[in-house]
Amino acid sequence: MPESYLPKGFLWGFATASYQIEGAPHEDGRADSIWDVHCRIPGKIADGSSGDVACDSYHRTAEDIALLKQCGAKAYRFSLSWSRMIPLGGRNDPVNEKGIQHYVKFVDDLHAAGIEPMITLFHWDLPDGLQKRYGGMLNKDEFVKDFENYARVCFMAFGAKVKYWITFNEPWCSSILGFSTGLFAPGRTSDRSKSAEGDSSTEPWIAGHSFLIAHGAAVKAYRDDFKAKDGGQIGITLNGDWTEPWDPNDPADVEAATRKLEFAISWFGDPIYFGKYPDSMRKQLGNRLPEFTPEEIALVKGSNDFYGMNHYCANYIKHKETEPEPNDFVGNLEILMVNKAGDIIGPETQSLWLRPYPLGFRKLIKWLSDRYGGPTFYVTENGTSLKGENDLPLDQLLEDDFRCEYFRGYIGALADAHAIDGVDVRGYMAWSLLDNFEWAEGYETRFGVTFVDYAGDQKRYPKKSAKVIGSIFDQYIKKE
Ligand code: NCW
């Protein structure tokens, strides 16, 4: 047993998301989501692909559960496709019984295999009907009501079978990449530059505000009407990279490194734990950042039973001397991979946004724990890709020693955060069970502990990491 440890009963497993694995986009009554539409726009996805087939998991639930069992997983985090449950999305639209039954059976099958389900209600695939009808997240009042209704349909359908609920996955990504850079669905960049009136980017901040209020409304619905009888917990999943100052001796870089954390994480974390946006964001964004009404504060403040943490990367941060651009969303600073002393933060991966640095994981979870008063954490995603993994011959690709090392480093860092730094962490979901549709990067980027042969009928081949990860947890989780 290593000196550091994870607590008894620690829940570990894997995470996936509906659009990335399911395929079957028009089966059993499912309608388009904004990602179906986004993928049809030429140039949006690196390899011109889509989630039309993906891992075909809609038809292979038994195979996926068998893989989870083989790995020894205790839990599985997956997301529901809103447009399978309520194809057009809205509170007055019909509920699709076939969609509900598909997931109810899946949850029953997971339980039969001894695997705890953890459900994400929204992992980016908004029903396109709501985007077309009223602009999706840009229409706060409509979006909040429709999300609350969808959440209630789900709470009702699964009842006590599901103990872990996540409202939104990485609202930063949906807000910034969906409404500022246009990289993600719904692909909006329309107000990125200054207009003739000197207007500036507002949409990502409006979308973010809608996510927060919708999260609060769903949590209130759960706590008022389901939690006591069903006995579950509910939270939000936030992504965030660790930051180190480019020059640790320059107070402006030290300050910028914290400001980057605030723009990326506290944007959502502070309203949930403190009922307000960070001062640094208000200072830079002024009234482009929406104000909370007293009713909204009451809804949002205190709305996490646990903090869902996705973590992948660390960066060096250098302050800027110039005034922020209107479309700046990082806090007026430079994000670098090399610091003033020439140190590299971590090796390159297939994804430009990912640089492994396990110590950054430990530092970030401690920073979050200190800032938010020691909440309970579930790590809801962590994992890596390898530059060029997709080009390797199958036998080499299955020997993914780099991924085994990655998990050793990160799980060890988490055990240090728990045993030495006193962080209350109770679970970890590796990203991902399967290679899958990596959004704008298409199928070139592989994150799975299982190779999926897209050219060979979606056949699954467990990689070495699928066999190794359980033994790493075995070393760290306390038996008594
Ligand atoms: S794309 C992304 N990911 C990966 C994805 O597969 C998963 O669904 C997400 O929850 C793995 O984990 C998350 N994160 C987006 C990274 C940010 C890209 C930053 C671009 C800067 C402009």
pLDDT at 138: 95
The number of the ligand 1 atom at minimal distance from the alpha carbon of 177 is 22
Q: Domain locations in the chain?
A: 11-242+354-476
pLDDT 10s digits, 412-460 = 999 999 999 999 999 999 999 999 999 999 999 999 999 999 999 999 9
pLDDT at 191: 55
Say yes or no: CB of residue 170 within 6 Å of ligand 1: yes
Query: The tokens 């953890």 sit on which residue?
Result: 118
> Is pLDDT of 197 > 60?
no
How confident is residue 189, by pLDDT bands cut at 50, 70 and 90?
Answer: confident
> Is pLDDT of 480 > 90?
no
Residue with CA nearest ligand 1 atom 4: 438
Residue with CA nearest ligand 1 atom 19: 353
CA of 173 to the centre of ligand 1 (A): 7
Residue of 125, 167, 170 to mutate, ligand 1, most atoms within 8 A of C-beta: 170
- On the question of a cis peptide bond just before residue 432, with omega within 30 degrees of 0, the verdict is yes
For 312-322, what is the mean pLDDT? 98
Write the CB contacts of 22 (distance below 8 Å, at least 6 apart in sequence): 51, 54, 55, 56, 57, 58, 81
Q: Are 368 and 417 in contact (CB under 8 A)?
A: no
Q: Pick the closest to residue 169 from 309, 300, 3, 368 (CA basis).
A: 309
Say yes or no: CB of residue 174 within 6 Å of ligand 1: no
For 296-321, what is the mean pLDDT? 98
pLDDT 10s digits, 352-411 = 999 999 999 999 999 999 999 999 999 999 999 999 999 999 999 999 999 999 999 999
- On the question of a cis peptide bond just before residue 248, with omega within 30 degrees of 0, the verdict is no
Say yes or no: CB of residue 181 within 6 Å of ligand 1: yes
Q: Specify the CATH architecture of the domain 11-242+354-476.
A: Alpha-Beta Barrel (3.20)
Residue of 21, 45, 173, 444 to mutate, ligand 1, most atoms within 8 A of C-beta: 173
Distance CA 33, CA 338 (A): 39
Residues designated as active site? 170, 381
The number of the ligand 1 atom at minimal distance from the alpha carbon of 176 is 22
CA of 438 to the centre of ligand 1 (A): 8
Say yes or no: CB of residue 270 within 6 Å of ligand 1: no
Say yes or no: CB of residue 210 within 6 Å of ligand 1: no
Q: Pick the closest to residue 365 from 195, 187, 238 (CA basis).
A: 238
For 293-309, what is the mean pLDDT? 99
Residue with CA nearest ligand 1 atom 6: 438
Say yes or no: CB of residue 353 within 6 Å of ligand 1: yes
pLDDT at 184: 97
> Is pLDDT of 199 > 80?
no
What is the residue type of 278? P
Write the CB contacts of 125 (distance below 8 Å, at least 6 apart in sequence): 17, 18, 19, 33, 34, 35, 79, 81, 82, 83, 185
Residue of 81, 121, 265, 312 to mutate, ligand 1, most atoms within 8 A of C-beta: 312
CA of 163 to the centre of ligand 1 (A): 26
Measured in degrees and rounded to the nearest 5, phi and psi for residue 264 equal -90, -35
Q: What mean pLDDT, rounded, does the chain reach?
A: 96
Write the CB contacts of 129 (distance below 8 Å, at least 6 apart in sequence): 31, 32, 83, 87, 88, 89, 90, 93
The number of the ligand 1 atom at minimal distance from the alpha carbon of 237 is 10
Distance CA 165, CA 233 (A): 6
pLDDT at 402: 98
How confident is residue 1, by pLDDT bands cut at 50, 70 and 90?
Answer: low
Say yes or no: CB of residue 32 within 6 Å of ligand 1: no
Residue of 239, 333, 446 to mutate, ligand 1, most atoms within 8 A of C-beta: 239
Distance CA 52, CA 55 (A): 9
Write the CB contacts of 263 (distance below 8 Å, at least 6 apart in sequence): 278, 280, 281, 329, 330, 331
Buried b (16+ CB within 10 A) or exposed e, 74-93: bbbbbbbbbbbbbbbbbeeb
Q: Are 300 and 212 in contact (CB under 8 A)?
A: yes
Burial class (CB in 10 A: 0-12, 13-18, 19+), 26: exposed
pLDDT at 196: 38
Encoded tokens for 67 = 């893989």
Q: Are 460 and 452 in contact (CB under 8 A)?
A: yes
Say yes or no: CB of residue 439 within 6 Å of ligand 1: yes
pLDDT at 194: 46
Q: Are 311 and 351 in contact (CB under 8 A)?
A: no
Say yes or no: CB of residue 438 within 6 Å of ligand 1: yes
